[in-house]
Structure formats: C-alpha cells, structure tokens
Amino acid sequence: MVDAARAGNASALSELYTLYFPRVYRYILARTGNTYDAEDLAEEVFMRVLEAIERFQWREAPFSAWLFRIAHNAVISQRRKETARGRSSQLSEALAVDSQGPDELVENRLVLGDIREAAEKLPEAQRQVIALRFAAGLSVAETARTMGKGEGNVKVIQHKAIVKLREMMGARKPQSVKVYESKKA
C-alpha cells in the first residue's frame, strides 16, 4: 500500500489516509489537548506526507515511525508558534468525542481531562512515549524507531511514565468521579 501510494495511486493514498488519520489525530490530541488543533495539524501532517512520500525509504524506518516523526515535528512547530503568540490551550472544553452518548461524554471528558493534566506534568520523553503507545497505538519497536531510542529505553520510560501517572491520577480521580456523579444525579 505504501509503495503504491508513493507511486501516486489514488486508492492507496486514500487507504493510507483512512488507516492512519485517526491515529495521527489521537496522537496530536494527546500532545496538544485541543480537538481543533488536532484536526488542523493532522491534515497538515498528511499534506507533508504527500510532499515527502517519494523520499520515504523502508530501510531507514517503518512507515509508521516515519509518519509519526512528521506528526511530532508538526506538534513541536505548533507549540513554538503558540509560545510565540502566548496562547495556552484549554483542554477540558475542547475534548469532544462524537460517537458517545451525553453521559459517556461527560465521563470521558473528565477522565481525559485528568489524564491530560497529569500527562502535562511528565517530562517530554515520557509524554512522547505515552502518546505514541496509547494514542497512536504504536508498538514498542515502532515507538523506539520514531524517537530514535532503543526498545529497552522505551520500556523504562514507559514504566516510569505509568508509575507517575498513577501517582498523579490516583490523587485526582476521586474528584472527577465525584463531579461526574453529581452531574449524573
């Protein structure tokens, strides 16, 4: 499919988009916490893919690692622009999940808000591993290639990130549940 897309085959490009767009979107959402940014940036990533796909080479990295490196660069670039503009993203209002009912939506927003808030406090490498593993759905091997690190190193970073998230979210969760339950009532 990737080879056909490199040759400009329209159905292969369409398939590639369908397969990877939601994963890229989730990855960017996990990094930026804003659905509008995630939509815009995910589209921008695929425009960059279009421009660079002819230069993609299998021997250098798997396609997913190559793609998420582009996504990572797009996030970093966006963050620089936002820093320059002095903008801070507000996640809790922006996290919307279209395929859920109102109750589920409220719960999901709260939990995602907690996760996002906790993840914000992690060091950059840990945030990157969490976003690639859980949002983008990459394997440890793919995550390692994307980040230019060894697999063992990624496992260590992942372990540390989960331990920290557990500590932080453990303290926050009762509050979320309390708010959710009061809204349901």
Partner 1 sequence: MKARRLEEVLDESLSAYLDGRRTIEESLSLYPSLRPHLEPLLRTAAELADNVSRSSPAPQVVRRGRERFLESAQIRRRARELTSDIPITRRMVNVWGRTQWGFLAGGFATLFFVVAFSATALDSGSQKSSLQAQVILDARPAAVTDLRQTQEQLRVQTVENGDISAGLILELARTTTELQSQVEDFSRLDDRSRQELERTIGYQYLLLHLVIDTQSRSAAPQAREALELTEDLAEEWGVDLPDLPPAVSATASASPSATPAGSATPEPSPDDTPAVTPPPSAPPSSTPDPPLTDLP
| Residues within the interface to partner 1 (CB under 8 A) | 8, 10, 13-14, 17-18, 21-22, 25-26, 29-30, 36, 38-40, 42-44, 46-48, 50-51, 95, 97-100, 108, 111-112, 115, 130, 133-135, 137, 139-140, 155-156, 158-159, 162-163, 165-166, 169
Q: Whose Cβ is closer to partner 1: residue 38's or residue 147's?
A: 38
User: 137 in the Ramachandran plot: left (φ > 0), alpha (ψ -120 to 50) or beta?
Assistant: left
Amino acid identity of residue 104, one-letter, is E
Written as one string, the DSSP assignment of 44-105 is: HHHHHHHHHGGG--TTTS-HHHHHHHHHHHHHHHHHHHHHHHT----HHHH---TTS-HHHH
Q: Whose Cβ is closer to partner 1: residue 55's or residue 59's?
A: 55
Tokens 């995602």 map to which residue?
112
In the complex, the smallest distance separating the C-beta of residue 47 from partner 1, rounded to whole angstroms, is 6
In the complex, the smallest distance separating the C-beta of residue 64 from partner 1, rounded to whole angstroms, is 14
In the complex, the smallest distance separating the C-beta of residue 168 from partner 1, rounded to whole angstroms, is 10
